[in-house]
Structure 1
Amino acid sequence: MVKTKKTKPNQTDRLLVIACGMIAREVLAVKEQLGLDHLELTCLPAEFHFHPDRIAPAMDKAIEKARAEGYEHIFVGYADCGTGGLLDRVLEKHGVERMAGPHCFAFYQGMDAYAKVADDDMMSFYMTDFLCRQFDAFFMKPLGLDKHPELIKDYFGNYEKLIYLAQTDDPELDKVAEKAAALLGLAYERRSTDFGDLTPGLARAAANA
């Protein structure tokens, strides 16, 4: 039997998306939806959502690693996400682009739509599909609210409304969001966003790769 040698994919022909772990499922959904077979995904820890100071240095290392592996086309699945411009400095150094906007809550709604509601949403607490799935792991346990519910007012007392930005139509996630709003003592609103600007953002990046 003649054995054929497996060749490693040519990374120069691929688009590597380095994204926040909070949007991994959505990036893969867009990849499948648009048939972006040449798109590959790697993620930084979702926990960086709470530690934005870690995003820029971790991204710097991730891009350097990707370049060393031969990736020429890289796109970043982050908005500024609380880095105060530090992420953009890293991306400028490497010549890499990212999703436009201040955070994923903005690009999920679409930047034009977000601009119209940003001021009114100032006192709103956003949730996404990911945050509904991980509500206990990301909020209840880390903040100690599972054992000390009296702390809810300390953490969420300045909010007036919980807005669930729904990427999918999942009744179970709806229940989580509604329950969270009741638990936090907030008014509730659901907005169906689909993937917002993530879809055209990834499509443009893939077309340019």
Structure 2
Amino acid sequence: MDFPAKERSTREKVHVIACGAIAREILAVSRQQGLGHIDLNCLPAIWHAYPQKIVPGLEKAVAEARQAGFEKIFFAYADCGTGGDIDRLCEREGIARIEGPHCYSFFAGNDAFAAKADDDLFSFFLTDFLARQFEAFVIEPLGLDRHPQLKDMYFGNYRKLVYLSQEEDEVLQEKARGAAEYLSLEYEYRFTGYGDLTQALRSV
């Protein structure tokens, strides 16, 4: 069967539905690896703070993608605090996702992250995105700008802030150090690169 050019190109592409918090990294990996077949659709990054919104958003995005003619769909999400709901959606829809419990894990490498689980039990993590958007995605959603006394309630059990860096950027490192100081936590820097994200995207 012959398909019109637009429909044919849509059928050949992989529609990646992603958390907006990792959009920059997906585009970087796609450029580095020559993944021109990826069609990227990002959902709001702020859902990072409201995981109950993720699965309904994914369901809507899947329906729209299929209506647009995409046959191959991939979720650039880990479990992301949904308690297995993304996996149940994957099973219902026949869609794969990035392995891992959250982006901190797959950026670090899921095996490496798990191996350090005991050492990191009292660690608060930042990625490049969260270092860049610390105020908008941590301080404001938790109300710390209005009620700074809540810092102890939210972060009193943490001992250190671990910055998992995707790109070596001195400006972001300074922002992350500032975040650690703001939260009264020790600071640790780990360069991870893109971790398991690269292989996940190469495999679709």
| TM bracket, shorter-chain basis | over 0.9
For residues 149 and 28 of structure 1, the distance between their equivalents in structure 2, rounded to whole angstroms, comes to: 36
Q: Which residue of 2 aligns with 1:3?
A: none
Give the Å deviation of 1:8.
2.8
Report the TM-score, using the length of structure 2 for normalisation. 0.94
Separation of aligned partners in 2, 1:177 and 1:187:
11
Structure 1: which 5+ runs fail to align?
A: 1-5
Aligned to 1:87: 86
Percent sequence identity over matched residues? 52
Question: In 2, Cα distance between the equivalents of 1:150 and 1:51?
Answer: 22
Partner of 2:29: 30
Output the amino acid matched with 1:144: G
Equivalent residue number for residue 204 of structure 1: 203
Quick one: distance in 2 between partners of 1:7 and 1:100? Answer: 34
Q: How does 1:21-170 map to 2 (within 5 A)?
A: 21-170=20-169
Classify the secondary structure of the residue corresponding to 2:149.
Answer: helix
TM-score, with structure 1 as normaliser: 0.92
The answer to whether the 8 A contact 2:49-2:141 is kept is: no
Gaps of 5+ in 2: none
Q: Which of these residues, 2, 6, 17, is aligned with residue 8 of structure 1? A: 6
Structure 2 CA distance, aligned partners of 1:150 and 1:19?
34
For residue 7 of structure 1, report the CA deviation from its aligned partner: 5.4
Tell me by how many angstroms 1:164 deviates. Answer: 0.1
Shift of 1:147: 3.8
Distance 2:38 2:137 in 1: 28
Checking the alignment, whether the CA contact within 8 Å between 2:49 and 2:137 is kept in structure 1 is no
Deviation at 1:146, TM superposition (A): 2.7
Q: What's the CA shift string for 1:81-113, capped at 9, x where partnerless?
A: 111111111111111000001000000000110
* Aligned-partner Cα distance in 1 for 2:122–2:156: 10
Between the two proteins, the alignment pairs up a number of residues equal to: 200
Greater mean alpha carbon deviation, residues 105-114 or residues 56-65: 56-65
State the AA in 2 paired with 1:81: C
> Which letter does structure 1 place at the counterpart of 2:142?
L
